[in-house]
Amino acid sequence: MFENIQQYFASTEAHMLLRLLLSAILGGCVGIERGKGDRPAGLRTHVLVCVGSTLFMLVSIFGFGDTVPVHTVQDDMGVRRDSARIAAQVVSGIGFLGAGTIIHEGLSIKGLTTAATMWMVSAIGLAVGAGMYVVSIGSTVLTLIVLTILRNWEKFMGLRGKTSNRFMVVRVKNRQAIVSDIINYLTLNGVKLKSLNVKTDDKNATLLLEMFVKYNPEVDNMEVISGLHSIEGFMSIENVK
Protein backbone atom coordinates (compact mmCIF):
# COMPACT_ATOMS: atom_id res chain seq x y z
CA MET A 1 0.00 0.00 0.00
CA PHE A 2 2.83 2.35 0.87
CA GLU A 3 4.41 1.64 -2.50
CA ASN A 4 1.15 2.45 -4.24
CA ILE A 5 0.91 5.77 -2.42
CA GLN A 6 4.51 6.55 -3.26
CA GLN A 7 3.92 5.71 -6.91
CA TYR A 8 0.86 7.94 -7.00
CA PHE A 9 2.71 10.96 -5.62
CA ALA A 10 5.34 10.39 -8.27
CA SER A 11 2.70 10.37 -10.98
CA THR A 12 1.67 13.20 -13.28
CA GLU A 13 -1.74 13.57 -11.62
CA ALA A 14 -0.13 14.16 -8.23
CA HIS A 15 2.10 16.83 -9.74
CA MET A 16 -0.95 18.52 -11.23
CA LEU A 17 -2.74 18.49 -7.88
CA LEU A 18 0.31 20.03 -6.20
CA ARG A 19 0.38 22.76 -8.82
CA LEU A 20 -3.29 23.52 -8.16
CA LEU A 21 -2.60 23.68 -4.42
CA LEU A 22 0.36 26.02 -4.91
CA SER A 23 -1.77 28.17 -7.19
CA ALA A 24 -4.47 28.43 -4.52
CA ILE A 25 -1.89 29.50 -1.93
CA LEU A 26 -0.31 32.15 -4.16
CA GLY A 27 -3.66 33.51 -5.31
CA GLY A 28 -4.85 33.54 -1.71
CA CYS A 29 -1.87 35.64 -0.63
CA VAL A 30 -2.86 38.38 -3.07
CA GLY A 31 -6.55 37.93 -2.28
CA ILE A 32 -5.98 38.43 1.45
CA GLU A 33 -4.30 41.78 0.79
CA ARG A 34 -7.18 42.88 -1.44
CA GLY A 35 -9.83 41.59 0.95
CA LYS A 36 -8.50 43.67 3.86
CA GLY A 37 -9.53 46.85 2.06
CA ASP A 38 -13.09 45.69 1.35
CA ARG A 39 -12.38 45.53 -2.38
CA PRO A 40 -14.91 44.24 -4.91
CA ALA A 41 -12.72 41.14 -5.47
CA GLY A 42 -11.25 39.53 -2.37
CA LEU A 43 -9.78 36.22 -1.20
CA ARG A 44 -12.16 33.77 -2.86
CA THR A 45 -12.19 35.57 -6.20
CA HIS A 46 -8.40 35.72 -6.46
CA VAL A 47 -8.02 32.08 -5.43
CA LEU A 48 -10.54 30.94 -8.02
CA VAL A 49 -8.96 33.04 -10.78
CA CYS A 50 -5.48 31.73 -9.99
CA VAL A 51 -6.54 28.09 -9.68
CA GLY A 52 -8.68 28.33 -12.78
CA SER A 53 -5.79 29.72 -14.79
CA THR A 54 -3.58 26.90 -13.56
CA LEU A 55 -6.18 24.32 -14.53
CA PHE A 56 -6.47 25.78 -18.02
CA MET A 57 -2.71 25.59 -18.42
CA LEU A 58 -2.65 21.99 -17.17
CA VAL A 59 -5.35 21.08 -19.66
CA SER A 60 -3.32 22.75 -22.40
CA ILE A 61 -0.19 20.79 -21.53
CA PHE A 62 -1.53 17.39 -20.43
CA GLY A 63 -5.11 17.27 -21.67
CA PHE A 64 -4.41 16.35 -25.27
CA GLY A 65 -1.62 13.84 -24.91
CA ASP A 66 -3.59 11.21 -26.82
CA THR A 67 -4.13 13.48 -29.80
CA VAL A 68 -2.04 12.60 -32.83
CA PRO A 69 -1.91 14.88 -35.87
CA VAL A 70 -3.49 13.52 -39.03
CA HIS A 71 -0.66 14.66 -41.27
CA THR A 72 2.87 13.98 -40.12
CA VAL A 73 6.22 14.74 -41.65
CA GLN A 74 8.42 11.75 -42.43
CA ASP A 75 10.58 10.77 -39.45
CA ASP A 76 8.55 13.12 -37.24
CA MET A 77 5.97 11.14 -35.32
CA GLY A 78 5.86 13.43 -32.27
CA VAL A 79 2.62 15.03 -31.18
CA ARG A 80 2.57 18.62 -32.32
CA ARG A 81 0.12 21.01 -30.67
CA ASP A 82 0.09 24.62 -29.48
CA SER A 83 -0.15 24.57 -25.68
CA ALA A 84 -0.36 28.35 -25.59
CA ARG A 85 -3.74 28.59 -27.31
CA ILE A 86 -5.86 28.05 -24.19
CA ALA A 87 -3.53 30.24 -22.13
CA ALA A 88 -4.03 33.04 -24.64
CA GLN A 89 -7.79 32.79 -24.16
CA VAL A 90 -7.34 33.12 -20.39
CA VAL A 91 -5.40 36.37 -20.89
CA SER A 92 -8.19 37.89 -22.96
CA GLY A 93 -11.04 36.37 -20.95
CA ILE A 94 -9.83 37.72 -17.60
CA GLY A 95 -10.59 41.19 -18.91
CA PHE A 96 -14.30 40.60 -18.35
CA LEU A 97 -13.77 40.01 -14.64
CA GLY A 98 -11.45 42.98 -14.41
CA ALA A 99 -14.00 45.24 -16.07
CA GLY A 100 -16.60 44.02 -13.59
CA THR A 101 -14.52 45.15 -10.61
CA ILE A 102 -14.13 48.62 -12.11
CA ILE A 103 -17.84 48.97 -12.87
CA HIS A 104 -18.59 47.87 -9.28
CA GLU A 105 -16.87 51.06 -8.05
CA GLY A 106 -19.35 53.27 -9.87
CA LEU A 107 -17.88 56.49 -11.27
CA SER A 108 -14.58 56.28 -9.46
CA ILE A 109 -11.52 54.39 -10.72
CA LYS A 110 -10.59 52.68 -7.46
CA GLY A 111 -11.27 49.28 -8.99
CA LEU A 112 -8.33 49.53 -11.38
CA THR A 113 -5.80 48.12 -8.92
CA THR A 114 -8.05 45.18 -8.07
CA ALA A 115 -8.59 44.53 -11.78
CA ALA A 116 -4.82 44.56 -12.26
CA THR A 117 -4.29 42.08 -9.41
CA MET A 118 -6.83 39.70 -10.94
CA TRP A 119 -4.98 39.95 -14.24
CA MET A 120 -1.73 39.31 -12.37
CA VAL A 121 -2.97 36.27 -10.44
CA SER A 122 -4.24 34.77 -13.70
CA ALA A 123 -0.69 35.09 -15.05
CA ILE A 124 0.67 33.55 -11.84
CA GLY A 125 -1.76 30.66 -12.23
CA LEU A 126 -0.61 30.06 -15.79
CA ALA A 127 3.00 30.07 -14.64
CA VAL A 128 2.26 27.52 -11.91
CA GLY A 129 0.43 25.32 -14.38
CA ALA A 130 3.45 25.43 -16.67
CA GLY A 131 5.70 24.28 -13.82
CA MET A 132 7.48 27.65 -13.44
CA TYR A 133 7.47 27.53 -9.64
CA VAL A 134 10.26 30.00 -8.91
CA VAL A 135 8.86 32.55 -11.34
CA SER A 136 5.32 32.22 -9.98
CA ILE A 137 6.41 32.54 -6.34
CA GLY A 138 8.66 35.48 -7.20
CA SER A 139 5.82 37.17 -9.08
CA THR A 140 3.53 36.75 -6.07
CA VAL A 141 6.12 38.30 -3.74
CA LEU A 142 6.65 41.17 -6.16
CA THR A 143 2.89 41.72 -6.42
CA LEU A 144 2.53 41.91 -2.65
CA ILE A 145 5.44 44.37 -2.47
CA VAL A 146 3.72 46.59 -5.03
CA LEU A 147 0.39 46.43 -3.18
CA THR A 148 1.80 47.13 0.29
CA ILE A 149 5.18 48.84 0.31
CA LEU A 150 4.66 50.94 -2.81
CA ARG A 151 1.27 52.09 -1.54
CA ASN A 152 2.94 53.61 1.51
CA TRP A 153 5.69 55.01 -0.70
CA GLU A 154 3.06 56.72 -2.89
CA LYS A 155 1.59 58.41 0.17
CA PHE A 156 5.04 59.49 1.37
CA MET A 157 5.97 60.96 -2.03
CA GLY A 158 2.63 62.68 -2.39
CA LEU A 159 1.68 60.73 -5.51
CA ARG A 160 -1.75 59.95 -4.11
CA GLY A 161 -4.39 62.13 -2.58
CA LYS A 162 -3.92 65.03 -5.02
CA THR A 163 -7.63 64.94 -5.75
CA SER A 164 -10.63 63.58 -3.92
CA ASN A 165 -13.73 62.25 -5.65
CA ARG A 166 -17.05 62.66 -3.89
CA PHE A 167 -20.71 62.00 -4.58
CA MET A 168 -23.27 64.47 -3.23
CA VAL A 169 -27.01 64.97 -3.51
CA VAL A 170 -28.19 68.57 -3.19
CA ARG A 171 -31.85 69.56 -2.83
CA VAL A 172 -32.74 73.09 -3.94
CA LYS A 173 -35.83 75.13 -4.72
CA ASN A 174 -36.87 75.10 -8.34
CA ARG A 175 -36.01 78.66 -9.30
CA GLN A 176 -34.45 80.07 -12.43
CA ALA A 177 -30.64 79.69 -12.73
CA ILE A 178 -30.34 77.74 -9.47
CA VAL A 179 -28.41 74.95 -11.19
CA SER A 180 -25.92 77.33 -12.81
CA ASP A 181 -25.45 79.12 -9.46
CA ILE A 182 -24.52 75.82 -7.79
CA ILE A 183 -22.13 74.87 -10.59
CA ASN A 184 -20.46 78.29 -10.66
CA TYR A 185 -19.97 78.24 -6.90
CA LEU A 186 -18.34 74.81 -6.96
CA THR A 187 -16.06 75.75 -9.87
CA LEU A 188 -14.90 78.98 -8.21
CA ASN A 189 -14.07 77.07 -5.02
CA GLY A 190 -11.86 74.40 -6.56
CA VAL A 191 -14.50 71.71 -7.02
CA LYS A 192 -14.76 70.23 -10.52
CA LEU A 193 -18.12 68.82 -11.59
CA LYS A 194 -17.65 65.45 -13.35
CA SER A 195 -21.30 64.45 -13.75
CA LEU A 196 -24.71 65.91 -12.95
CA ASN A 197 -28.15 64.32 -12.85
CA VAL A 198 -31.14 66.61 -12.21
CA LYS A 199 -34.42 65.20 -10.87
CA THR A 200 -37.53 67.38 -10.67
CA ASP A 201 -40.08 67.21 -7.86
CA ASP A 202 -43.04 69.21 -9.21
CA LYS A 203 -45.17 68.50 -6.14
CA ASN A 204 -42.75 70.27 -3.79
CA ALA A 205 -41.30 72.61 -6.45
CA THR A 206 -37.79 71.37 -5.78
CA LEU A 207 -34.85 69.94 -7.70
CA LEU A 208 -32.60 67.09 -6.68
CA LEU A 209 -29.05 67.49 -8.01
CA GLU A 210 -27.02 64.27 -8.00
CA MET A 211 -23.41 65.33 -8.51
CA PHE A 212 -20.12 63.50 -8.77
CA VAL A 213 -17.34 66.01 -8.09
CA LYS A 214 -13.57 66.15 -7.77
CA TYR A 215 -11.99 68.19 -4.99
CA ASN A 216 -8.59 69.85 -5.15
CA PRO A 217 -6.37 68.81 -2.21
CA GLU A 218 -6.47 72.24 -0.56
CA VAL A 219 -10.27 72.44 -0.60
CA ASP A 220 -12.04 71.95 2.72
CA ASN A 221 -15.23 69.93 2.29
CA MET A 222 -16.96 71.58 5.24
CA GLU A 223 -16.23 75.05 3.87
CA VAL A 224 -17.76 74.07 0.54
CA ILE A 225 -20.90 72.77 2.26
CA SER A 226 -21.16 75.94 4.36
CA GLY A 227 -20.89 78.05 1.23
CA LEU A 228 -23.65 76.11 -0.47
CA HIS A 229 -26.00 77.07 2.35
CA SER A 230 -25.54 80.72 1.41
CA ILE A 231 -26.93 80.22 -2.10
CA GLU A 232 -30.52 81.37 -2.48
CA GLY A 233 -32.83 78.38 -2.78
CA PHE A 234 -30.47 75.85 -1.21
CA MET A 235 -32.30 73.41 1.05
CA SER A 236 -30.13 70.42 2.01
CA ILE A 237 -27.22 68.22 1.07
CA GLU A 238 -27.14 64.44 1.52
CA ASN A 239 -24.93 61.40 1.02
CA VAL A 240 -21.64 63.25 0.91
CA LYS A 241 -18.90 60.62 0.66
Q: What would the mean pLDDT of 205-227 be, rounded to a whole number?
A: 80
Rounded to two decimals, the pTM is 0.56
**pLDDT in the model for residue 241:** 52
**Residue 71: exposed, middle, or buried by beta-carbon count in 10 A (0-12, 13-18, 19+)?**
exposed
**pLDDT in the model for residue 157:** 60
| pLDDT tens digits, 8-18 | 455 677 888 88
| pLDDT tens digits, 8-52 | 455 677 888 888 999 999 988 888 887 776 666 678 888 888 998
Partners of residue 238 on adjacent β-strands: 169
Q: How far apart are CA 195 and CA 188, in angstroms?
A: 17
